[in-house]
Amino acid sequence: MNAHLEQLSPRPLWRHFRTLCNTPRPSGHEAALVAILERWADGLGFAHDRDAFGNLRIRKAASPGCESAPGVILQGHLDMVAQANADHPHDFTRDPIETRVGDDGWLHACDTTLGADNGLGVAAALAILEDETLEHGPLEALFTLEEESSMGGALNLAEGWLEGRLLLNLDSEDRGQVYIGCAGGADVIVEAQLPSTPLGDDEVALRLSLTGLSGGHSGIDIHKGLGNANRLLVRVLRALEPFGARLVDYQGGTLRNALPREAFATLVLPDDEQASASERVAVLQEELRAELAGVDEGLTLMLAPQDPRPAEALTEQASQLLVRALHVAPCGVERMSVAVPGVVETSNNLGVVSLSAGRFHLCALVRSLRDSATEDLADRFRALFELIGARTRVENAYPGWTPNPDSPLLARFCRLHRERLGSEPEVKVIHAGLECGILGGKYPQLDMISFGPLIRGAHSPDERVELDSVAEFWGLLRALVEDLARGETR
């Protein structure tokens, strides 16, 4: 599948990306891809090993005469976000990603995430390793696991394992930009068992659905005003409280680092309130569409009879407490940075919310350029949901990456960008969880930058990559590796 990818330029990079597309690799299911890469490395005579967590390292000795050049680490993550449109059945653990080249000069997937994040970075690293015409110093390619789900690979990376002093993170998504800092973050998990009672004879069950939102990356896209399906459907449930609505179940979002595109709830209310509730939902649909006009145009809100009729629903008090807590929970941009103008400092994504048989579960992702702000926002969740008797815990916390504008590696990259493209790159800090902050904590001697091709719609089925930007990215990466091998300091 995806044979057309090998006709794109640069061919070595796209050939490796085809392998990645054809090999299922959602977070936690990277083993098959690791085995393929190990066989590939064996075939070319490259040394390779794994740490205790399973992160893969492939090494290539320096070109003759470049043995004293600083070691360079090419770093990316093997896993991808698994998101598909609701009407497109796709098993990310078994099915390959089907791609297509659009007339717009971009590569797309067919109703799923593309995996350009971070498949193109991984493919570029592999193409660098096999390039026999490239002059280079000692090379290490570090491929981490479970970045999208938990940062698990970076958090559990072996210390004292890597040998290089310069790290090129290939997981950025903007052309003409280079990143030198990123937000830290933490998962906030909230759970509770809530009381239920049988339905009354006069109660009717209804299915409430909110669909059609764009979704997106919960860090990079958090400031764009896109709809969050959980935030919006909870708002609708709050508006239905006066009609005596009680929640039966709820499911919204699938990943804590993707803006939820859809959310669904089953509720019950008195039969004589059904018509009024339906009218209220119709009004709310128009209000929400008006609020999202020009930003997220596809919202659809529906209320329809539910069959079969459930046996129980949350008590009215439990339902109201849960909906009200979710309604006031932090969501979206909390604060913009003063130190880095135009960059979000602190945010939260209500990523995954579920209710089944009275068991409530929430997974939110808090991000901040300041670790203290991450901790505080997580504590606000704890304080809020303790009021309804829920248990809260914080998992997978990871630090931010403190910018170093005086980095020699950054200066070298900027010079090459000027020479090759005739312009200065934008030096940026990103409100997303690059692995550099974690890696820098384990290897404080590393000088690091992050750059990549132009990717849009990451973490959603709208994910796409601009083809011209891939060629530009490849040229810059190749030139930088060669420049570092020469030891030039211009």
> Catalytic positions, please?
79, 147
Chain position carrying tokens 């609701």: 86
Among the listed residues 460, 465, 436, 450, the one whose alpha carbon sits nearest the alpha carbon of residue 116: 465
Q: Which DSSP helix (H) or strand (E) runs through 279? A: helix 274-291
Q: Are 263 and 231 in contact (CB under 8 A)?
A: no
Report DSSP state, residue 343: S
Report DSSP state, residue 401: B
Instruction: Collect all residues with Cβ–Cβ distance below 8 Å to 4 and sequence separation of at least 6.
Output: 99, 101
64: alpha, beta or left? (left if phi > 0; alpha if psi -120 to 50): beta
Instruction: Collect all residues with Cβ–Cβ distance below 8 Å to 169 and sequence separation of at least 6.
Output: 75, 76, 121, 179, 434, 435, 436, 448, 449, 450, 451
Report DSSP state, residue 71: P
Among the listed residues 123, 73, 26, the one whose alpha carbon sits nearest the alpha carbon of residue 442: 73
* 345/367 Cα distance (integer angstroms): 8
